[in-house]
Structure 1
């Protein structure tokens, strides 16, 4: 298993980690198989979405704030219930195909680490199954 360390800088953000993941694939000579990305944090997530236009990540973040606001009818005493809900909505894992040493993504797709309770130092666990 590989570990990717990610430093987030704001409370909520989507960080494009596509090139960092591809670099791991290349450096480890992973050719054909499945790549599992797993976020071990209850207020973070990992997703795949459009990476060609940075406004998409911004739109997702802004509108998630509207769907699940920071303050609301929450009982969780840590004050980050919204972050737990957002994390559950996105999910903690992504499974990707690797073929000929390249992550198989659609033309416009990128891999994002989703921060919902930052800024923090985060980890992403990466397992290749060839």
Structure 2
């Protein structure tokens, strides 16, 4: 099986959760050594990104920056659910990332990790990992 489904329970309103290790576990389970790995989030108020893993303040600063660009509360938002900010943040980050798999290893920079980005929590979330040989 080359498609893996993961579920997260996120208790914060906004957060970025490292998911690189679960992706690496999926690669081991798949037995695929070379190809591409697609990580996909099927939610319109969350996303997937790659960013620095060394300093936790980077995550804090990213959430802060998104909040400055797309504030949670803005009297001009019209979406009845009240989460327009999360839709904007999700569209900016995007729903997926594609990674290169070489000899069983993800090609990533030393300071990089893959993150699930929550912008409208707390929620139960799902993301998928598809490993394609090639």
Shorter-chain TM-score range: over 0.9
Which TM-score applies when normalising by structure 2? Answer: 0.94
1:71 equivalent to 2:73? Answer: yes
Q: What residue in structure 1 maps to residue 32 of structure 2?
A: 30
- How many residue pairs are counted as aligned between the two chains? 130
Note the residue ranges of structure 1 that are not aligned, 5 or more in a row.
Answer: none
Aligned to 1:59: 61
Mind listing any 5+ residue stretches in structure 2 that lack a counterpart?
none
Q: CA deviation at 1:126?
A: 1.3
Given the alignment, which residue of 88, 91, 109 partners 2:91? 88
Moved over 2 A (4+): none
* The 10-residue stretch of structure 1 (64-73 or 110-119) with the greater mean CA deviation from structure 2: 64-73
- Pairwise CA RMSD of aligned residues? 0.8
- Quote the offset at 1:35 in angstroms: 0.5
Within-5 A mapping of 1:8-47: 8-47=10-49
The alpha-carbon deviation at position 56 of structure 1 amounts to 0.6
SS at match of 2:109: coil
TM-score by length of 1: 0.97
